[in-house]
Chain A
């Protein structure tokens, strides 16, 4: 039995947030704290997005984003979406590498990014055979 899980984006890992800002040319990590939303957050960090009048505050304790882009007039929502996409890619890639796995990153036509993580070690596979790290040739 295999399974599929869908999750909404939440930026809860500071290292991955910083890595996402390095991947994303439209995002710059500013630093810890937030004048505007600090009283609402447990662990606020600010990010400046390209074309945005105000900084975005990310509470890495909860993963929530706080911002005021005036319905898109003070900053395009797509730019924040791109940061969240890069966050997910950075977080998953770091986890895979920490587990000793290689990561294959594929950009799809619809703008999605697919990460393929071959599993080393012994697993009971669908064809009845066992998998091993040496089977991959990657």
Chain B
């Protein structure tokens, strides 16, 4: 389990390489600015949502998968 508490970014990388980025413990409108450099490294957005409850409890993550351009 994470040993870090307080303001932090958590990035969950699924076995298929899909990423879910969350910000914990930071209020205000700068969350997107904090994660933007990381999200720019990854692919297209599948979904995004603002959450208040992320301060307390990580969510169950629903991972969507897509395969590459196999031929």
Interface residues of A (CB under 8 A from B): 1-10, 12-13, 16, 63-69, 71, 77-78, 80-89, 91-92, 95-96, 99, 104, 106, 110-119, 123-127, 131, 135-136, 138
Contact = CB atoms under 8 A, between A and B. Distances in A.
20 contacts: A1-B52, A4-B47, A4-B49, A6-B45, A8-B66, A13-B41, A71-B70, A82-B15, A85-B14, A92-B13, A92-B19, A104-B3, A112-B12, A118-B7, A123-B27, A123-B30, A126-B26, A131-B6, A131-B7, A138-B4
Contacts, number: 209
Interface in B9-33: 9-32
Interface residues of B, number: 60
A84 B71 CA distance: 18
